[in-house]
Structure formats: C-alpha cells, structure tokens
Amino acid sequence: MTSVQDEYKREAAGGKQPLPDYTGVDLDELAARTTRPVLGAVLAGLRRRAGRAEQAVAYHEDSPGISPD
C-alpha cells in the first residue's frame, strides 16, 4: 500500500485508526453465505457494480423503492 493510501485511510478515520481494507473480499462467496436480507440486498448492488470502478459507489438514492427526484 502506498503512503497516499495510508494517509487517506487515516483522514477518513478521523486520524485515529486506518479503516480496514476489504478489497480482497469475495462478494460472491459472502452473498452465498449470508442469511441477512439487508446484507443480501447490499451485496447484490455491490456485485453489479464491482466490475466497473466508476459505479463502485452506492448512494441512498440507489436503494430499491427510492426514485431519484
């Protein structure tokens, strides 16, 4: 990990402790193992966006049943 990434993690955590790095998590495996409906819905969205960096961020408006104004 580069020092820029380390600094970003420190800033994002309020300077206290770096955020954990979950970039290596297998989303397909996690989705297959979860029994939590909310986590399942979140993972479905993440799995759709995982292959495209420009869509990797999810917004509240992306939630099912929420239409953007």
**Per-residue pLDDT, 47:** 85
**Alpha-carbon distance 24 to 44, whole Å?**
17
Domain-wise residue ranges, the chain: 24-56
Encode pLDDT of 14-48 as tens digits.
666 776 788 788 889 999 999 999 999 888 888 88
pTM: 0.47
Encode pLDDT of 52-64 as tens digits.
666 666 666 766 6
Query: Are 49 and 55 in contact, with CB atoms under 8 Å apart?
Result: yes
**Per-residue pLDDT, 45:** 83
CA atoms 36, 19, 49, 59: torsion sign: positive
**Alpha-carbon distance 45 to 27, whole Å?**
10
